A and B are shown apart, each in its own frame.
Chain A
């Protein structure tokens, strides 16, 4: 008897450590590069975005307060979990991007390696972005980087997994919490990443994943008063302009989109984009 009934997977959002359906009850069809149906993904609404921001804000205190060492350990654990699910991600990336298994495998390997690379930054970023400042007075003056807060991330459209990892990992490693809008036409690797995050030691709410229309979700996130920064990697030029205008109203940090080769070494730009500098003056020689 080999004629089993097929068990189809219901992809869901990832908000606050839970897997809810969209509040709106909507879904949309996700197809591969040849327009064959793969799955239905939730079509998140602005209210899902609102809930995700609440979850991210709630998680921020604990995550930003955790020691850098602890954050690094947890992110490394995520990489371990990714490694265990490598085959699943290879299949999903191959479907989503219409590339060969070998090319997809190379992308997944690069993504896992990048996650490990960013995990290592957790207790090193302060040395790069902070330090002791020479001042003309009897003070010890030092600057230390602190996380910006809740970061909205529009994940890149063209690289459904490597690109996603490249924008999420640098934001959370420094202590931010994120609300991620997955690539609109290829959200499945992102939604599967949520399952990995849920089963590693990452506290619920640190990463919240939404799938749906980037423009529909980007607008409320950019205008949201309780979102501190937005990464526009997945927005096209027109949308990016609108979102930047909306974000200016509440002084969000904005990372503009640009042509990025996601397979190239990332550098520290994204890592340093969502940090605030705290400077302390301490009297000396008394």
Chain B
């Protein structure tokens, strides 16, 4: 197996060049994606369900809860977002449980592009500059805009200081089979993530799996995005009826595993939307551990896109540390 390199590292481009033959033209890309083995839907769902039955208690649970908190992209993506709300979210992310300073910080704050500067400033002033600011971009959540608009959206967010960009793919193009268009778009957005100093914002690619109809499509789009240079692949926007589900996430984890075996490039995974309870979060961690192993069990390579999950994790954390069941009165309302 090739030596592991991170997807955002300098060497990754060289590794992807080794796969250049499959992305050379439309026909080759189509042949490659359609040549991927079909997904055994029943087997996948059974496997995901089995991995959800592990019992994780006491010290292991405490570890998993803290790990989950440190993996959260604390998110607010509402039309009604205000600067005040974003600042409040940043305060919560940098000090999730005011009654217990040992609670870890979240990984990132996820906002719309126009709130990036506000979030950046709030985190700097709040003494938590290590928390990343992730910005959705490219006409989130629908992705229905012309490419120049999407690129401008991305550059804007990067210029405002975003550390991570969450882009949405053009599901219309993907579903109608124009894979090359999706591929080129992801590459263009990746280039737009570059900063003048040579570094770049990390790129997360959102598939909106709830709109992709089949598991086969999820496997194809995962490979497509990773070939195009995605640093992270993400299930959903959280704006449609079906968001992250364990089988879909497992499938994406397997795609990351296979891509890593083929190229040595390490890509992260972010399930988003619909993960509300500690129990759910622990199931996802079990899947990551069983599919990809420990190297992915860090906030660098696995994230939860969530907002209400944090409160449930904090309540469980309080239960473990005090022995008393906690209640929603003891965590923030947001």
On A, residues with C-beta under 8 Å from B are: 50, 53, 57, 220, 223-227, 246, 249-250
User: For B330, what are the chain A residues with a Cβ–Cβ distance below 8 Å?
Assistant: 225
Using CB atoms, name the residue of chain A closest to B325. A224
Please list the 7 inter-chain residue pairs (A to B) with the smallest Cβ-Cβ separation, ordered nearest first.
Answer: A226-B327, A223-B324, A225-B327, A224-B325, A225-B326, A50-B325, A225-B330
Asked whether B327 lies within 8 Å of A223 as measured between CB atoms, the reply is no
Bound complex: CA A189 to CA B325 (Å): 29
Bound complex: CA A277 to CA B318 (Å): 30
Report the minimum CB–CB distance from A180 to chain B (whole Å): 17
Please tell me if B323 contacts chain A, counting CB pairs below 8 Å.
Answer: yes
Report the minimum CB–CB distance from B325 to chain A (whole Å): 4
User: For B329, what are the chain A residues with a Cβ–Cβ distance below 8 Å?
Assistant: 225-226
Please tell me if B2 contacts chain A, counting CB pairs below 8 Å.
Answer: no
Asked whether A53 lies within 8 Å of B324 as measured between CB atoms, the reply is no
Please tell me if B43 contacts chain A, counting CB pairs below 8 Å.
Answer: no
Bound complex: CA A5 to CA B107 (Å): 62
Please tell me if B328 contacts chain A, counting CB pairs below 8 Å.
Answer: yes
Bound complex: CA A32 to CA B329 (Å): 43
Is chain B's binding surface mostly helix, strand, loop or mixed?
loop
User: What 1/0 flags go to B260-299 for Cβ under 8 Å of A?
Assistant: 0000000000000000000000000000000000000000
On B, residues with C-beta under 8 Å from A are: 318, 323-330
Report the minimum CB–CB distance from B58 to chain A (whole Å): 15
Bound complex: CA A263 to CA B129 (Å): 67
Bound complex: CA A225 to CA B319 (Å): 10
Report the minimum CB–CB distance from B3 to chain A (whole Å): 47
User: For B323, what are the chain A residues with a Cβ–Cβ distance below 8 Å?
Assistant: 223
Asked whether A220 lies within 8 Å of B325 as measured between CB atoms, the reply is yes
Report the minimum CB–CB distance from A145 to chain B (whole Å): 21
Report the minimum CB–CB distance from B45 to chain A (whole Å): 24
Bound complex: CA A111 to CA B38 (Å): 65
Bound complex: CA A220 to CA B319 (Å): 11
Choose from A224, A246, A249 the contact partner of B327 (Cβ within 8 Å).
A224
User: For A225, what are the chain B residues with a Cβ–Cβ distance below 8 Å?
Assistant: 318, 324-327, 329-330
Bound complex: CA A227 to CA B326 (Å): 9
Of B326, B327, B328, the most chain A CB neighbours within 10 A belong to B327
Bound complex: CA A226 to CA B324 (Å): 10
Choose from A57, A226, A246, A249 the contact partner of B326 (Cβ within 8 Å).
A226
User: For A223, what are the chain B residues with a Cβ–Cβ distance below 8 Å?
Assistant: 323-325
User: For A246, what are the chain B residues with a Cβ–Cβ distance below 8 Å?
Assistant: 324
Report the minimum CB–CB distance from B314 to chain A (whole Å): 12
Q: List 22 A-B contacts (CB under 8 A).
A: A53-B325, A53-B327, A57-B327, A57-B328, A220-B324, A220-B325, A223-B323, A223-B325, A224-B324, A224-B325, A224-B327, A225-B318, A225-B324, A225-B325, A225-B326, A225-B329, A225-B330, A226-B328, A227-B327, A246-B324, A249-B324, A250-B324
Report the minimum CB–CB distance from A179 to chain B (whole Å): 12
Report the minimum CB–CB distance from A223 to chain B (whole Å): 4
Bound complex: CA A225 to CA B324 (Å): 7
User: For B324, what are the chain A residues with a Cβ–Cβ distance below 8 Å?
Assistant: 220, 223-225, 246, 249-250
Bound complex: CA A220 to CA B324 (Å): 7
Bound complex: CA A250 to CA B330 (Å): 11
User: For A250, what are the chain B residues with a Cβ–Cβ distance below 8 Å?
Assistant: 324
Using CB atoms, name the residue of chain B closest to A150. B327
User: For A220, what are the chain B residues with a Cβ–Cβ distance below 8 Å?
Assistant: 324-325
Report the minimum CB–CB distance from B269 to chain A (whole Å): 30
Report the minimum CB–CB distance from B57 to chain A (whole Å): 12
Bound complex: CA A179 to CA B324 (Å): 17
Bound complex: CA A53 to CA B327 (Å): 10
User: For B326, what are the chain A residues with a Cβ–Cβ distance below 8 Å?
Assistant: 225-226
User: For A57, what are the chain B residues with a Cβ–Cβ distance below 8 Å?
Assistant: 327-328
Using CB atoms, name the residue of chain A closest to B326. A225
Bound complex: CA A227 to CA B329 (Å): 11
Bound complex: CA A220 to CA B323 (Å): 9
Report the minimum CB–CB distance from A43 to chain B (whole Å): 19
Bound complex: CA A223 to CA B325 (Å): 7
Of B324, B326, B328, B330, the most chain A CB neighbours within 10 A belong to B324
Bound complex: CA A241 to CA B117 (Å): 55
User: For A226, what are the chain B residues with a Cβ–Cβ distance below 8 Å?
Assistant: 325-329
Known interface pairs A57-B327, A223-B324; 20 further A-B residue pairs with C-beta atoms within 8 A, sorted by A's residue number: A50-B325, A53-B325, A53-B327, A220-B324, A220-B325, A223-B323, A223-B325, A224-B324, A224-B325, A225-B318, A225-B324, A225-B325, A225-B326, A225-B327, A225-B329, A225-B330, A226-B325, A226-B326, A226-B328, A226-B329
Report the minimum CB–CB distance from A59 to chain B (whole Å): 14
Bound complex: CA A220 to CA B327 (Å): 13
Using CB atoms, name the residue of chain B closest to A47. B325
Bound complex: CA A226 to CA B319 (Å): 12
Bound complex: CA A249 to CA B327 (Å): 14
